[in-house]
Structure 1
Amino acid sequence: MATLDTSLLSSLNQTSTTPSSAAASAVSASGTEELNDQFMTLLVAQMQNQDPMDPVSNSDLTAQLAQISTVSGIEELNTTLESITTQISSSEALQAASLIDKGVLVAGDAVLVGNATSTPFGIELEGAVDDARVEVLAADGSVVKTFELGALDAGIHGFVWDGLLEDGSQAGDGAYQLAVSAERGGEPYSDLQTLSYGVVSGVNQSESGAQLDLGPQLGVVELAAVRQVL
Structure 2
Amino acid sequence: MAVVSNDNQNSNAYGIDEAVKQAVNVSDAAQLENNFLTLMVAQIQNQDPTKPVDSTEFLNQFAAMSQVKSLENMASLSKSNLVLLDNLQTLTAAGLVGQEVKVATEQLELGEDAINGEINLEHAAGKLTLTLTDSNGVKKDIDLGSQAPGRVPFALDPQALGLAPGRYQVEVNSDSGEYPKVEVAGRVTQVRVSAEGPVLDVIGVGSVPFYNITEFGQTQTAGLL
Same fold? TM cut 0.5: yes
Cα distance in 2 for partners of 1:75, 1:138 equals 51
Aligned pairs (5 A) from 1:1-230: 31-104=28-101, 105-110=103-108, 112=110, 114=112, 117-125=113-121, 127-135=122-130, 141-143=139-141, 145-153=142-150, 157-161=152-156, 163=157, 170-172=160-162, 174-175=164-165, 179-184=171-176, 188-190=177-179, 192-214=180-202, 218-229=205-216
Secondary structure in structure 2 of the residue aligned to 1:39: helix
Seen in structure 2, the aligned counterparts of structure 1 residues 142 and 34 have a Cα distance that, compared at 3 Å, is: closer
Paired position in structure 1 for 2:24: none
Contact 2:128 2:175 in 1 (8 A): no
Deviation sequence 1:157-206 (CA, Å, 0-9, x none): 44334x499xxxx445744775522233xxx223x122334432221222
Gaps of at least 5 residues in structure 2 are 1-27, 218-225
RMSD between superposed Cα atoms in Å: 3.1
Contact preservation (8 Å) 1:109, 1:196 = no
- Identity across aligned pairs (percent)? 24
Query: Larger RCO: Structure 1 or Structure 2 (Cα < 8 Å, ≥ 6 residues apart)?
Result: 1
Q: Would the aligned equivalents of 1:111 and 1:120 in 2 still touch at CA under 8 Å?
A: no
Give the Cα–Cα distance (whole angstroms) in 2 for the partners of residues 81 and 69 of structure 1: 18
Displacement of 1:229 in angstroms is 3.1
**TM-score after normalising by structure 1:** 0.66
Give the superposition deviation at 1:50: 1.0
* TM-score of the superposed pair, with normalisation by structure 2: 0.67
Post-superposition CA distance 1:61-87 (Å, at most 9, x none): 122111221122012102210221122
What is aligned with 1:17? none
Task: Encode CA deviations 1:49-107: one digit per residue, 9 max, x unaligned.
Answer: 21112211233212211122112201210221022112211111011111112233231
User: Any idea what SS the aligned residue of 2:52 has?
Assistant: coil
Between the aligned partners of 1:81 and 1:137, the Cα distance in structure 2 is 43
Listed as ranges, the gaps of 5+ residues in structure 1 are 1-30
* Structure 1 counterpart SS, 2:175: strand
